[in-house]
């Protein structure tokens, strides 16, 4: 896994610790099934794309919210560019594993 994928994973794990709606949205998205319309592999691809779109939309909202300063513009553009290096399939698997593990432990989410 590259550092950009790890950074997004860490940010999402931290965020879901505090944001029940985000946690619910991600769980719903990551475990959505499309039977009988899509195969298991097609479902995985659809869920990967949904995660990528969701995270990009969140980052775009954050970027639009930032005050219009040179440093914010630079940081925002760097963050947007960094998303291009994220391994979305790896991130999806890590998040699915995180949620599956937290369910097995009996909690809504794993604590650090």
Task: Indicate the domain borders of the chain.
Answer: 3-28+42-104
Give the pLDDT of residue 91. 97
pLDDT digits 0-9 by tens, 58-93: 999 988 888 889 998 898 889 889 999 999 999 999
pTM (predicted TM-score): 0.83
Give the pLDDT of residue 102. 78
Give the pair of three-digit tokens for residue 67.
């005050």
Q: Report the alpha-carbon distance of residue 22 to residue 20 in Å, rounded.
A: 5
What are the residue ranges of helices labelled H in 19-39? 20-30
DSSP assigned state of 1: -
User: Which H or E run contains 106?
Assistant: none
Inform me whether the pLDDT recorded for 109 exceeds 50: no
Confirm if 88 and 52 have CB atoms less than 8 A apart. yes
**What is the average pLDDT across 96-108?**
76
């Amino acid at each position: 896994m590259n550092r950009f994928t790890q950074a997004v994973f860490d940010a999402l794990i931290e965020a879901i610790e505090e944001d029940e709606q985000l946690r619910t949205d991600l769980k719903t998205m990551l475990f959505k099934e499309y039977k009988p319309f899509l195969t298991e592999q097609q479902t995985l691809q659809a869920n990967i794309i949904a995660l990528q779109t969701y995270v990009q939309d969140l980052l775009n909202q954050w970027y639009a919210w930032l005050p219009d300063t040179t440093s914010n513009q630079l940081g925002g553009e760097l963050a947007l560019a960094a998303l291009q290096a994220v391994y979305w399939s790896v991130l999806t698997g890590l998040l699915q594993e995180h949620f599956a593990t937290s369910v097995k432990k009996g909690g809504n989410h794993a604590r650090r």
